[in-house]
Amino acid sequence: MNGYERVSSTSSGKADKVEVDLESGDTLYPGLRYGENQLRWGFIRKVYGILAAQLVLTTVVSAFVVLSAPVNELLRGNSGLLLFLCLVPFILLWPLHIYHQKHPVNLIILGLFTVSLSLTVGVSCANTDGRIVLEALILTAGVVASLTGYTFWASKKGKDFSFLGPILFTSLIILILTGLIQMFFPLGSTSTAVYGGISALIFCGYIVYDTDNLIKRFTYDDYILASATLYLDILNLFISILRVLRSGDN
């Protein structure tokens, strides 16, 4: 049998079996019961709603930083303040994890987390030609949409991407260590472009992996963590693409 069955009662009091085909567009992955499938779709819509709000907030804050000369000069001219803003998201990760199920504290912390990252993204965009920023936005949107659609399609077909976890984590550690080395031994434009390209591939993998977790593994109370995780994946992918395009332009 290619589907599964759910029971519905009729006016005569008899129970009729209604078969739901696993090939239908509403089924997230094989073996998922009808009730859980509906709950999962509701959870996914909630996560993407929060994620959309985060991306809109990032766009507004980044645009404000780029268009406001005093704010831009303040952030670029004060290395201590910029360093603090870079550290704030890492500091907020702990309370975000602790209070991710406590409403509305979780949303407040998530908002602060998003704004702090948006300010640093705004500084990066302000130091880049507008044409390159627009190209990076279009490429990021296209890649994210394609990978998300593919992951939902693959999950529906029964594919699992949990094996990517250890590979991506190891790659991320190497990426972070390489970034720290760059602080003391700056790379040339070609090496920077290669580093950005490898970073983009890693975060493409993370988008597939975390989307698969969203479909199958995140619990219904983890909507804040799920949205924060996907937000970081998209933001890091954008920064990586921006780095590649900027290096190529130079």
User: What is the structure's pLDDT at 142?
Assistant: 95
Handedness of CA 203, 207, 213, 218 (dihedral sign): positive
Task: Show pLDDT as tens, one digit a residue, over the chain (250 residues).
Answer: 444 444 444 444 444 444 444 444 478 888 888 888 899 999 999 999 999 999 999 999 988 888 887 887 777 777 777 788 888 888 998 999 888 888 889 899 999 999 999 988 888 888 888 888 899 999 999 999 999 999 999 999 989 999 999 999 999 999 989 888 877 777 777 778 888 899 999 999 999 999 999 999 898 889 999 999 999 999 999 999 998 888 776 6
User: What is the structure's pLDDT at 249?
Assistant: 66
Stated pTM of the model: 0.85
Kindly give the residue spans of alpha helices, DSSP state H, lying in 157-184: 164-184
Q: Which of 228, 233, 222, 230 is nearest to 199 (CA)?
A: 233
User: What is the structure's pLDDT at 208?
Assistant: 96
User: What is the structure's pLDDT at 250?
Assistant: 62
User: What is the structure's pLDDT at 79?
Assistant: 72
